[in-house]
Structure 1
Amino acid sequence: MGSLASRILAQFAVDRRVLALAFARMADGVGNSFLIIVIPLYVASDIVGGATLGLGEAMIIGIILSLFGFLNSSFQPFTGRLSDRFGRRKPFILIGLAGLTLTNVAYVFAESYLTLLVIRGLQGVSVSFIVPASIALVNELATTDDRGGNMGVYNTFRLLGFGAGPLAAGAVVNLGPYSIATLSVSGFDAAFYVAAVTAALSTVLVTVLITDPEGTKANAGADISIPIRDPSGRNLFDPIFTLGVASLFMAAAIALFATIQPQVNARLEQGPTWFGLQFAAFILAQILLQTPIGRACDRYGRRPFIVAGMILLIPSTLIQGFITGSETMFLARLIQGIAGAMVFAPSLALAGDIAGEGESGSKLSVLTMAFGFGIALGPLASGALVGYGFEVPFIFGTGLAVLGSILVYTQIEETLETTAPIPVVGSD
């Protein structure tokens, strides 16, 4: 037992600043994932009104959720480049967290679709300051030998917070209103305050515990352009561009689920609590597997995990369109999470291997930008496609997963010079 505990603890042996940043992102992740569950319920309530321009409820929810991802992703190359040019990461993270805190409070005063749209858009811009700088910080604190493990630890704790939110969000809303002294706080307002407090806590943690790496150098020539063709000529596409496209397809397939909560609940005859569990199942798999897969890709190579993860994404996405039971949907989302875990940390590690000195913010923002665009595309696509049949959004996502699998298999090469052979189960 003691030996097992030691091995588990060894998985999280990283630079203390990586661990501190991971805990900080875990805190703001709780609040952000709260909103993914709460906003659709808020839009469907009688509290929010205003012009709809003839759009249905599912489409309105999709636009509000997607705007966050589109603005977040669109600004990431610029904020990543700026952090490279200044050679500083911490100030960018703090700017983003401060904006996230303020916008979470602003939801309390939002009573129209347009106001929700503006607030969610401002949150997207705020998070665009956090993501590239955070990933660049982790990359610069790592080496080729432990980069996958560092990325895995960072993502494990960040996603732990992101996964905890949905489990509590529905309950916080349903148990309201709350009486605090002489005040009555609705379930929705309580959820928004929780999101604000977690973002504020994250700000405090970064302020106190994080410092920029001593060796980080400003790079005034940091370039935000994304090369498409492989400069080496060995493949058709640049490897970082390829990973970005695959990340976009993967994220879109995963995020299809978020917008269609009413349709999922009606089809499976379940309540918001079950939906929260199913949404969190993907995150649960990520939490359990990101760190060990990150460590494993440091030893066995990046490419095998990326290819296998994209292939596993295909059936785990398709089956969700044909499921009729809550437990089976939970299992499908769990398998989809395993696929995502096999792709995400190894992809960041591979891109980090390629990035030159002072380029971490610019290069790695390609992957985070693409993932954000996928998170935005998924809800928008499912909101538009679900009217043609419950299974149609998931068929669309499956097609994206097939294309992504072909790309990574044909265009990605291994970056580790030496890798150990992957052990075969049952071999001596």
Structure 2
Amino acid sequence: MFGTDRRVIVLALARMADAVANSFLIIVLPLYIASGELALPGFEGISVLGIPLTIELLIGVALSLFGFLNSFAQPFTGRLSDRTGRRKIYILFGLTVLAVTSVAYAVVDSYEALLVVRALQGLGGAFVIPTTIALVNDLARSDAERGGNFGVFNTFRLIGFGFGPVVAGLVVQGGPYALPTGVTLSGFNAAFGVAVVGALVSFTLVTLLISDPPSTEADASDDLSVSVLGEDRLFDPVFVLGVGTLFMAISIALFATLQEPVNARLGQGSTWFGIQFSAVVIANVVLQVPIGWAADRIGRKPFLVGGLVILAPAVLAQGLVTSPLNMLYARLAHGVAVAMVFAPALAVAGDLAKEGQSGTTLSVLTMAFGFGTAIGPLASGVLFGYGFVVPFAFGAALALAALVLVATQVEETLEGAVVPDFVPGGD
């Protein structure tokens, strides 16, 4: 596939299997929490600081906890893999944690216990995400392959993430299942079982087919702070890309918490919602590889700016449409925007990473994405109380802010690419 290293494809397949497991939970956990099978805290229905503690907010907390803990830990795990010069062992450890915690969902009986499992799962994910991305970056033989590598990797990962929700809804609705052993498995437990299988498949692929590239112990800094100010511009470009990734991820994650309100507004069922949720990912599956490949030849910045131009109206439209089909169109446009930003942003960060420090540098973007997926459900859970359109208007405003920052503060990093400079007097 565009001359991609075989190990990158194996990593992509491994992340695809793992992504199926994680995306199952994004759909299953809201249904599980709202099903009545789980004991909810007694304070549901009251208000704290004027914010009503609704089911949507409880769901948002559960979904967000993974992202918060995952993101906080990623700079540490990314730097650890840089310092030791090893990636594989940390990926395998994280996948083991993800598999064990997926089993635990089937045995918890309270909302509080579910939060503990979700927190542990977030820490496990922190060992997988930055180290896998860093390994993909390490395997690029030149800057002219980096965008393509990330495009291939993201495509397979997003296939798992996109089709998982559709299958998850069908698995839950199809339960209970009578096993040959005489045991009856509920739809929820069957879905948790699929998540376990996904993590184990990923573990097997990495164990058998991936090895760390030859390297010496990297001289990664002990300083985990992110450079905010730039040398020749106001802000550091990696910091700006992190902020842009944060805002983009928030816009993606706004949708998941609002499953019930969206279905009620559009007069649709959970299958339609699963298709709409997956539309963002499906667009990415189709476009990530060609965009990554083109970004290695045309340049990174045209795609970054173009994607953010599309992002704001696509997000706002989701709060305004009134039919399932129009929501699908808006979500597809959202996916096109994300595809234009994601791989080129990772490629720019990879271009700027110092030798042996790709895990540390790229963790800025993966951490930002994780924070965005954590903040998004909470934001939509809170803002939904002010009107259906408000969460989406908030996401659109963030997209506009990201556009201004990226257009003015990020330079083209691909040598030979010709793009306009947005800074007066810039080279």
One-letter amino acid matched to 1:36: I
Task: Indicate yes or no: 2:307 matched with 1:317.
Answer: no
One-letter amino acid matched to 2:68: F
TM-fit CA distance, 1:195: 0.4
TM-fit CA distance, 1:272: 0.4
The answer to whether the 8 Å contact 1:305/1:342 transfers is yes
Q: Distance in 2 between matches of 1:89 and 1:310?
A: 32
One-letter amino acid matched to 2:131: A
Cα-to-partner distance string for 1:79-118 (whole Å, 9 max, x where unaligned): 0010011010001100100000000000000111101111
Query: Which residue does 1:34 correspond to in 2?
Result: 24
Query: Which residue does 1:67 correspond to in 2?
Result: 65
Query: Which residue does 1:212 correspond to in 2?
Result: 212
Query: Which residue does 2:159 correspond to in 1?
Result: 160
TM-score by length of 1: 0.94
One-letter amino acid matched to 2:156: F
Moved over 4 A (4+): none
One-letter amino acid matched to 2:203: T
Helix, strand or coil at the partner of 2:254: helix
Q: Distance in 2 between matches of 1:358 and 1:94?
A: 21
Query: Which residue does 2:356 correspond to in 1?
Result: 358
Distance 1:216 1:246, change over 3 A: farther
The answer to whether the 8 Å contact 1:222/1:358 transfers is no
Query: Which residue does 1:22 correspond to in 2?
Result: 12
Query: Which residue does 1:229 correspond to in 2?
Result: 229
Query: Which residue does 2:191 correspond to in 1?
Result: 191
Query: Which residue does 1:141 correspond to in 2?
Result: 139
Distance 1:153 1:216, change over 3 A: farther
Q: How many residue pairs align between the two structures?
A: 410
Stretch deviating more after TM superposition (372-381 or 50-59) = 50-59
Query: Which residue does 1:256 correspond to in 2?
Result: 254
Cα-to-partner distance string for 1:222-258 (whole Å, 9 max, x where unaligned): 542200000x2x2100000000000000110111000
Query: Which residue does 1:405 correspond to in 2?
Result: 403
TM-fit CA distance, 1:14: 1.0
Distance 1:217 1:141, change over 3 A: farther
Distance 1:354 1:222, change over 3 A: farther
Cα-to-partner distance string for 1:195-228 (whole Å, 9 max, x where unaligned): 0011011001100010011135432535422000
TM-fit CA distance, 1:421: 7.8
TM-fit CA distance, 1:56: 1.1
The answer to whether the 8 Å contact 2:259/2:273 transfers is yes
Which residue of 77, 82, 85 maps to 1:84? 82
Cα-to-partner distance string for 1:275-313 (whole Å, 9 max, x where unaligned): 000000000001000110000000011111001111110
TM-fit CA distance, 1:63: 0.3
Task: Indicate yes or no: 2:27 matched with 1:44.
Answer: no
The answer to whether the 8 Å contact 1:84/1:222 transfers is no
The answer to whether the 8 Å contact 2:85/2:215 transfers is no
Q: Distance in 1 between matches of 2:155 and 2:119?
A: 26
The answer to whether the 8 Å contact 1:85/1:222 transfers is no
Query: Which residue does 1:4 correspond to in 2?
Result: none
Helix, strand or coil at the partner of 1:414: coil
TM-score by length of 2: 0.94
Query: Which residue does 2:110 correspond to in 1?
Result: 112
Q: Distance in 1 between matches of 2:107 and 2:210?
A: 33
Query: Which residue does 1:335 correspond to in 2?
Result: 333
TM-fit CA distance, 1:419: 2.0
Distance 1:270 1:60, change over 3 A: same
Query: Which residue does 2:48 correspond to in 1?
Result: none
One-letter amino acid matched to 1:30: V
RMSD: 1.2
Q: Distance in 2 between matches of 1:122 and 1:417?
A: 42
Q: Which runs of 5+ in 1 are unaligned?
A: 1-9, 423-428
One-letter amino acid matched to 1:304: P
